[in-house]
Every structure is written in C-alpha cells, then in structure tokens.
Homo-oligomer: A and B are copies of this chain.
C-alpha cells in the first residue's frame, strides 16, 4: 500500500499517484458514467499503466467507493457544520445550500459522480444511497427538529420530511445546472439561484398577495 505521507502531495512523481488515479476516475466516471467507464479509460486518463490502478484500488467498485469517500466525506462534514452553526434557521439553510453550491463550483465533476452514480446506485451495492442520502437526511432532520422546538417551524411539520425536501431542492438545482438548464459559468446567476432557492424553501413560492390565502386556510 502506498504511503501518501509525504508533505506536499500531488507532486506527480510518487505520492500523488493514488490521487492522480482518483481524479482520473472522477473525470471518467463523470464523462461516461460508472458502467460506461472502463478501467483502461481510467488508467489512460491518469497516464499510468493498466495494472497500477489495481495496485491502489482493489476493484472497479472499490475505486468508485473511494471516489465517493473523497467527494462525499468532505461535503457531508461541511454540511453538518453549516447545519449546526449558530444563527437562525434561515441562516443555516442558506449555509447548507451554500455548501452545495460551493462544492459544485470547486468540483463539479465530483458532484456529478456522487449525484448521478452513487446517490442513485441500485440498492444491492454496498454503496447505496443509504449512506449518502441517509446521512444528509439525519443531519437535516436534527436541524429542523431543533427549529421546531424553538417554534421556528410551522406547527405540524415533520422534520425528516423537511430534510428530504431540502436535499431535493439542492439536488434538483444542481442537476439543473449540470444539465445546462442554468448557466454555470455565470457567477451572478449562480448566486441568484442560491438566493432564490433559500427564499422559496423558507417562505414558499407564493407572493404576498397570493399568500393571503394562507391565513384563510
């Protein structure tokens, strides 16, 4: 097993080899999908010999698993941080969505793979959504539970369901971006999208006028 200990990784010659392959895998998985990608593609993309991929990763699935860990663990940690920060529920939600958008900005390929390949994997594989989707759900549910306790949430609202909706909103938005429905190169547009997403989630889509209906219900 490779070291990875050396100080400044990614030098290319030695330590970064594992990392190089991992990045290549993300690249290829993002481009062709997990099933469409061949190990040979990954090797070529990484510029290493075929066999070396197997030196660092036991199998194709293990490679995907590692991609998941790399792309996901950091993300989940940051989401948790945002969800547990001090501030109003609105702030937290803005924070959580912000984490999602940042992740996309920093590593859209990684986001793509996690979103399209892993989060939706068939239940059979160990790499199912249980961990991905479930993790996030739990984090979100806690956040909403707390808000509920403080009277910030509408009465009768189910925290878990809220969490699911929040995740859905984020995912859907990122998917829209991935699909090109929203221009990803336009920073301002991206920011606006985030803002709006927050707003809708907090206060709904209805205008003040239409919202009057709300009182009457």
Q: Which residues of A contact B (CB under 8 A)?
A: 31-33, 35-36, 88-90, 93, 115-116, 120-122, 124, 129-130, 133-134, 137, 144, 147, 151-158, 160-162, 164-165, 167-173, 175-176, 179, 181-182, 192-193, 196-197, 199-211, 213-214
**Chain B hits for A176, CB < 8 A:** 133, 137, 160-161, 164
Shortest C-beta distance, A204 to chain B (Å), equals 4
Q: List 24 A-B contacts (CB under 8 A).
A: A32-B122, A33-B121, A35-B35, A89-B206, A90-B213, A120-B120, A129-B179, A151-B210, A152-B206, A152-B207, A153-B206, A158-B182, A160-B182, A161-B196, A164-B181, A164-B182, A165-B201, A168-B171, A201-B205, A202-B205, A202-B206, A203-B204, A203-B206, A204-B204
Chain B residue nearest to A117 (CB atoms) is B120
Q: Known contacts being A161-B173, A204-B202, A205-B157, is A122 close to B181, with CB within 8 Å?
A: no
Q: Known contacts being A88-B213, A196-B157, A206-B153, is A168 close to B164, with CB within 8 Å?
A: no
Chain B residue nearest to A170 (CB atoms) is B168
Give complex CA distance A137, B177 in Å.
Answer: 12
The contact of A158 among B36, B89, B162, B196, by CB within 8 Å, is B196
**Chain B hits for A155, CB < 8 A:** 207
